[in-house]
Amino acid sequence: MLIVNQQLELEQAALTGGAVVDTSHAGYSGRGFVDSHKGQACSQFNVDVMQAGMYELELRYANGTGSVRTLSLVTDQNSEQISLPATANWNSWTSFAHTVYLDVGSHSLSYLFANSDSGNINLDTVGLIQVTSTDPGPDPTEPPVVNPVDGNYYEAENAFLSGGGVSVYINFRLSGHWRSSPKRTN
């Protein structure tokens, strides 16, 4: 299970289709990395999110092939091809971030070698951070609404003075409408 703001060692993912755990190159974290990402190889893991929104999925990998290789990122039923640039060698690791939308709840994510992919690179870890939430929350630009149950009070911090000289008005917001106090004469 991948948890928001944490990393999952991909050697702990559900590996199928020929993907295996390997330790033959240095620089990995955890107990190893996923090798043989070719054929029908798949590294599958689950994630459970509390808020709907955009999330950044960060894959740490090594690509010593010398050229860009592709894998498919499968999020529930949706598949997207991702392109992973070469690293200096198989001991050199880098991160690739991809943004996905996730609804509240649990999801299945996979790095898959699909028919159109050139993959066959080494996968170390995956991390997840939330980028934006679709929950708008309170609008900080909107003044608080005065409770209309009792018409005798108002939000004093919203009041302002106008007029001047001998006539001063206190303008305040009552039940959502701006009102002015009775004219006062000094």
Interface residues with Ca ion (CB under 5 A) are: 9, 28-30, 33, 124
* Alpha carbon distance 103, 158 (integer Å): 38
Shortest approach of Ca ion to residue 29 CB, angstroms? Answer: 5
Nearer CB in complex with Ca ion: 28/61: 28
Shortest approach of Ca ion to residue 90 CB, angstroms? Answer: 14
Shortest approach of Ca ion to residue 32 CB, angstroms? Answer: 6
Nearer CB in complex with Ca ion: 13/146: 13
Nearer CB in complex with Ca ion: 59/102: 59
Nearer CB in complex with Ca ion: 51/92: 92
Structure tokens given for 174: 């009552």
E-strand spans in 6-148?
A: 7-9, 14-16, 20-22, 33-35, 42-49, 53-62, 69-75, 78-84, 94-102, 105-112, 122-133
Q: Which residues of 91-120 are buried (b: 16+ CB within 10 A; e: fewer)?
A: eebeebeeebebeeeebebbbbbeeebbbb
Shortest approach of Ca ion to residue 126 CB, angstroms? Answer: 9
In the complex, residue closest to Ca ion by CB: 30
